[in-house]
Structure 1
């Protein structure tokens, strides 16, 4: 059955109809959700130790949500996630949807880089069907492990027809985030994921889903970007700004062959004067420079304290440094000029 409206006209609620079983395929990549500790109260553990079928089998009731299948795509800690795995995931998802092998996809993933993987998929997957990342802050063997319920909720979203056309999502701790907006905000807190500024897409709790909004920026089928064949994406470095920052790191990055630099700037994406000069030199050498911000929320605007037009810089708009890097890599891989790169940051 399904319900819409209720006391809040903007909210929608859906519960799986037991007569219609959709097919959800789970791609396991490792992470804390597949982690194993020495005891149920140990703070140390080995991520990616439990195979995806064991993770699936540990969650009661999944078979009431959908026809669930699993696949061990990778088995890594998320700090070891990389562009080759991103491309492989995007291509595998497209392959499954093109073959009509799944109605929705869930990816179990470590939390450290889930927002980067999610945003890459948000920009490159070519389907309106739901793709939902999930993970956990506590390993599978932990007292009060959060992974099983997170996976249950993620499957419920991936199985829901109302989840289509919302891009790639992250379902975790009863919250539903857009992959574009979400970021990790705490090292250990279970409620670590937030969507600054934009807010939640909705909530997902025990299979009951409420949607608050849809993403307004371009994604998936409306994106010009593709994952491409599995090969290294253009190198883009992120440089963290601070008081007294030296321009040497900029010059080192250029000398080592970077194609792009994202600056995690102070305030509104600012850097010290000598660094501005070094970044201008980088632009003249053919390197794309994007000004983002280290503060975690707000827009980086063009021409506020720096003359971005004269300097040849791109501003990140709302994207944090790590997501700015993802978008810039794709822009470079698709050979966009500086003006088109700036437009991409406004559109995606």
Structure 2
């Protein structure tokens, strides 16, 4: 039986075109246009396409991600065997992870996009959409949560990151590697994520009220003080090394922790885990943990921000948040 795959389009480079020959591009193409541009796609699956938004990915927000989740859930309820979401690559890893936090179905939900727009030489969008449809229709991709598929590479949403601004092979999973590949039109899975977590509720708000601060050389704490004074519901620190911050920046951070602000710290390096008990100086992981900070583990701070957002909206208390990060960041 031919698989049924639903394709939801959110915009991005894969859907961009210029107003004039050789001009700069912006989102123009709808879902049907993307689908009809892929040779052989109808041989892979029966496709139902819908345009959900037409945005460059830096402008995608919680409302669009929620619309994508609702589209995917409705498609599965109507009998689809899998779902593909097309998206710009700039923030694709964040949308994929937020969807992964809330996706409860065994059917594959695959996010894809393009590094080259449709009018460029060797545009990669059609090949990526075909590979994503192959992945979404494959029994081997079931029960793996949300996947990302570009450049014939299949990666887990919780590990994937964009590593290069222009390379076709930009999406990688540092320290973990891909789950599988597309070879000669076949899905070849090499490994699976360790377990799946219970789906969390997708927040109904369009505001992510979690501040984000990156530790930098010479950080004197003024910016962090201003960020905290703005009144966020939570804060994520993209820390140096194992999740560290300067002694001067630690002062307002510790004060906020002592006053009850949920704070999660991770590593800005792009790989590895936040630390627990190696360093003990002011601003180190031991110092922050002693005041109640939560380690993100292997989660990139950008993804930790999304998990903290979801937990805050779901009403989790800090001790419960700590348990969730302990398991999901492992």
- TM-score when normalising by structure 1: 0.88
Spell out the pairing of 1:304-319 with structure 2 (5 A cutoff): 304-305=278-279, 306=284, 307=286, 308-319=288-299
Aligned twin of 1:295 = 269
Which blocks of at least 5 consecutive residues in structure 2 are unaligned? none
Residue 162 of structure 1 aligns to a residue whose secondary structure is helix
What is the alpha-carbon distance in structure 2 between the residues aligned to residue 269 and residue 122 of structure 1? 24
What is the alpha-carbon distance in structure 1 between the residues aligned to residue 209 and residue 121 of structure 2? 41
Residue 339 of structure 1 aligns to a residue whose secondary structure is helix
Aligned twin of 1:160 = 138
What is the alpha-carbon distance in structure 2 between the residues aligned to residue 180 and residue 56 of structure 1? 27
| 8 Å contact from structure 1 (residues 30, 75) kept in 2 | yes
Aligned twin of 2:60 = 81
Q: CA deviation at 1:217?
A: 4.8
Q: CA deviation at 1:62?
A: 0.7
Q: CA deviation at 1:168?
A: 0.4
Does residue 314 of structure 2 align to residue 339 of structure 1?
no
Q: CA deviation at 1:37?
A: 3.8
C-alpha distance after superposition, 1:169-225 (max 9, x if no partner): 011001000001000001111111110111111002452111011111534xx33x1
Residue 27 of structure 2 aligns to a residue whose secondary structure is coil
Spell out the pairing of 1:35-46 with structure 2 (5 A cutoff): 35-37=16-18, 42=22, 45-46=24-25
**1:217 and 1:293, CA in 2 relative to 1: closer, same or farther beyond 3 A?**
farther
Aligned twin of 1:195 = 173
Q: CA deviation at 1:246?
A: 2.6
Aligned twin of 1:23 = 4
| 8 Å contact from structure 1 (residues 26, 69) kept in 2 | yes
Regions of 4+ moved over 3 Å: 37-40
What is the alpha-carbon distance in structure 1 between the residues aligned to residue 325 and residue 24 of structure 2? 38
What is the alpha-carbon distance in structure 2 between the residues aligned to residue 69 and residue 141 of structure 1? 24
Aligned twin of 2:108 = 130
Aligned twin of 1:227 = 202
Spell out the pairing of 1:263-278 with structure 2 (5 A cutoff): 263-278=237-252
2:39 counterpart (40, 60, 64): 60
What is the alpha-carbon distance in structure 2 between the residues aligned to residue 89 and residue 246 of structure 1? 41
Which blocks of at least 5 consecutive residues in structure 1 are unaligned? 1-19
| 8 Å contact from structure 1 (residues 31, 110) kept in 2 | yes
Aligned twin of 1:7 = none
2:27 counterpart (48, 54, 72): 48
What is the alpha-carbon distance in structure 2 between the residues aligned to residue 127 and residue 167 of structure 1? 8
Q: CA deviation at 1:342?
A: 2.0
What is the alpha-carbon distance in structure 2 between the residues aligned to residue 302 and residue 194 of structure 1? 26
Does residue 7 of structure 2 align to residue 33 of structure 1?
no
What is the alpha-carbon distance in structure 2 between the residues aligned to residue 135 and residue 204 of structure 1? 16
C-alpha distance after superposition, 1:138-175 (max 9, x if no partner): 00111100111000010011111221101100110010
**1:69 and 1:108, CA in 2 relative to 1: closer, same or farther beyond 3 A?**
same
1:326 counterpart (300, 306, 312): 306
